[in-house]
Amino acid sequence: MPTPYRTVLMLRALATLLVFQCLGEGVSYLFKLPVPGPVIGMLLLFGFLMLRPQIADAIEPTALELLRHLSLLFIPAGVGIMVSAGKVRGDALAVVVSLVVSTTLAIAVTALVTRALLRRQRNEPAAQERAQ
> Does one domain contain both 59 and 97?
no
> Does one domain contain both 90 and 127?
yes
> Does one domain contain both 63 and 123?
no
Q: For the segment 28-61, what is each residue's pLDDT rounded down to a tens digit?
A: 999 999 999 999 999 999 999 999 999 999 999 9
> Does one domain contain both 39 and 1?
yes
Residues 116, 122, 117: CA angle, nearest 5 degrees? 20
> Does one domain contain both 65 and 121?
no
Structural domain contains residue 78? no
> Does one domain contain both 67 and 94?
no
- Higher pLDDT among residues 97 and 3, named by residue: 97
Considering its fold, how many domains does the chain have in total? 2
How far apart (Å, rounded) are the C-alpha atoms in residues 72 and 80? 14
Q: Is the pLDDT of residue 83 over 70?
A: yes
Structural domain contains residue 15? yes
Task: Give the torsion sign (CA, 116, 117, 118, 119).
Answer: positive
Structural domain contains residue 132? yes
Among the listed residues 55, 70, 61, 66, the one whose alpha carbon sits nearest the alpha carbon of residue 3? 61
Structural domain contains residue 51? yes
DSSP letter at 90 equals: G
Q: For the segment 87-123, what is each residue's pLDDT rounded down to a tens digit?
A: 878 888 998 999 999 999 999 999 999 999 999 888 8
Domain containing residue 118:
86-132
> Does one domain contain both 52 and 102?
no
Structural domain contains residue 79? no
